[in-house]
Amino acid sequence: MAEEQGVDQLLDQLVSYADRGLGALEQARSEIQQLQAKNAELEARATQLEGRIDALRNRLTAALKQPSEAALLSRPDALMRLIRETLGLDATVAEHSAQVVVDPAIDDLSPQQRLERWIKTYPKAFMPGQPQPLKIGIHEDLLAADGGDMKKVRRALAGYVKVPRYLRCLKAGAVRLDLQGRNAGFVNAEEAEYARRQLDELETGKQQREDQAKYQQTLQQQREEESRMQDKLSELMQLHARR
């Protein structure tokens, strides 16, 4: 009888050990599956990163083949912006928090009022104190965001892009910005040369206006002097007649 009880206890212990072993085995299998899933995720990220690095290499190679964009390497801001965007490092950065609400009366704003609206809404793109080149076709983005009349959008935008301070920033290789301040391309040599010619025309026109203003001022002074001389001559003639 005692021997049977001993055997039963031994069998119970063996069953308990077996249950524990099976439980540990299941847990181990679960952990292995989790590790395999994590490993697959890491491999996918590594593949994605390799693709982005290849894309960066291709973009840099293409840029360096063009003399106008080879200056990119001398601009740390442009290079870092290019690297961050190609590798997707800015993907987690939130877009500009302000939500653009289309104002039905947007076209009632003057060009200056609309420009001031853009400066407040898109501070990473519109920086009057230290402007940077804007994306080609940014007027279409502004129209999509604000609505209204494209002619009035262009008129307001002209107040920002057709001034000397903005034209001076259009150098070959300079980074162009979209409304959120992200890299939207680079200024090429032809665009930089066109901006230089526009700047020369503005400065020439300004000089001509200043010269014309000086001429008009001198002419007015001469007329006033002639008038004073005429008045004095009339006074002298009147005095001579009285004598």
Confidence grade of residue 143 (pLDDT, cut at 50, 70, 90): very high
Cα 16 to Cα 199: distance, rounded to the nearest angstrom: 89
CATH superfamily of 76-90+100-197: ProQ/FinO domain (1.10.1710.10)
Residue 166 has pLDDT above 60, yes or no: yes
180-236: per-residue pLDDT in tens? 999 999 999 999 999 999 999 988 766 666 666 776 777 677 777 777 777 777 777
Nearest in space to 172 (alpha carbons), one of 70, 94, 101:
70
Percentage with pLDDT > 90 across the chain = 35
Nearest in space to 173 (alpha carbons), one of 79, 85, 90, 58:
79
87-113: per-residue pLDDT in tens? 555 544 444 434 444 555 788 899 999
Residue corresponding to tokens 């070959």: 172
Residues in the chain: 243
Q: Tell me the pTM.
A: 0.48
Write down the number of H helices and E strands in the chain: 8, 2
Which sign, positive or negative, has the C-alpha torsion 25, 27, 29, 35?
Answer: negative
Confidence grade of residue 118 (pLDDT, cut at 50, 70, 90): very high
Q: Identify the weakest region by mean pLDDT among 13-17, 65-69, 83-87, 201-205.
A: 65-69
Amino acid 48: pLDDT: 75
Quick one: tokens of 34? Answer: 């989790």
- What's the distance, CA 94 to chain centroid? 14
Question: Mean pLDDT across the chain, nearest whole number?
Answer: 77
Cα 42 to Cα 40: distance, rounded to the nearest angstrom: 5
Quick one: tokens of 104? Answer: 């039905």
